[in-house]
Amino acid sequence: MSMSSSLPPLWPEPSPGSWQMVNTGPVPLRCWWAPTSSAKPATRAVIVLPEIFGLNRWVRGVADRLSAAGVPALAMPLFARTAPDLELGYDSESTREGRRHKDATSTEGILADVQASIHWLRRTLPASGQPLRITVVGFCFGGHAALLAATLADVQVSLNFYGAGVSRGRPGGGPPSLELLPFVQGELHCLCGSIDALIPSSDQRAIQAALRAEDPTGLRLRYSLLEGADHGFMCEARDQYHQASAREGWRLLLDAALSDVAQS
């Protein structure tokens, strides 16, 4: 069943989410867990990766909104090693603070934490007799991390919303994250705004070319350019919010994460 015809409310009331410690990996992860009310065995779940601003209200709201649409969602921190409780706003000082923690991350740490979250979801959700379908969605630095997560065998779908820097390097140093595309076994969708200064046209062309080289059909590795959208276009709390692009982004996210979910 397609869920794209009507979007779930932005702030479901009451919120289905709550704080949850995930201790299945190398470091404790203070996550935001938004289960559904359905008692049926789970067939899928979503992991939400935040911007550099941590698990703030907007990112928690993404998980809540997915839950309200019918799929359980776990928002996972990316800075558990340096700032496990980070919640920032969108002012310049918060940006500097978030970037400081971003610079302290590593690709290995991010992948280990995503894998730990997958293990926790599989332990927590009632089994349906088939492997749990995992979708990872990330925004800003979380988008870059979602591209990395796409290389994990347990991830079936990844959505990278305006993840900057993937054509120039990777967390912790090393060659560009785009060079990891041959290891992506599932689906990957990269979404960029046409006026995003953090992902200039040269970077956008590099992303498109890399995706096309690995999957000339564009069916498994996809690229979407949102005209008139800036960095952060999905987030209502940011000045760069672009309503038309956000609605299209939500449509694509829901189609990817929820298209086969039967009504409860």
Catalytic residue among 113, 154, 196, 230: 196
Annotated catalytic residue within 31, 140, 190, 235: 140
- Cα–Cα nearest to 187, from 225, 161, 149: 149
Mark whether 64 is an active-site residue. Answer: no
- Nearest residue to 73 (alpha-carbon basis) of 3, 15, 28: 15
Identify how many contiguous H helices and E strands the chain contains and give both numbers. Answer: 6, 8
- Would you say 188 and 160 are in contact if contact means Cβ atoms under 8 Å apart? yes
224 strand-pairing partners? 191
- CA 227 – CA 113 distance, rounded (Å): 33
In the residue annotation, 196 being an active-site residue is answered as: yes
Respond yes or no: is residue 231 known to be catalytic: yes
CA atoms within 13 A of residue 150's CA, in its CB half-sphere = 31
**Angle formed by the axes of helices 107-124 and 141-149, nearest 10°:** 70
Q: Which pairing describes strands 44-49 and 73-75: parallel, antiparallel, or unpaired?
A: parallel
Helix (H) / strand (E) containing 256: helix 243-258
Please pick, among 101, 189, 231, 242, the residue that the annotation labels catalytic: 231
Beta bridge partners of 164: none
Q: Are 157 and 256 in contact (CB under 8 A)?
A: yes
By annotation, the residues acting in catalysis are 140, 196, 231
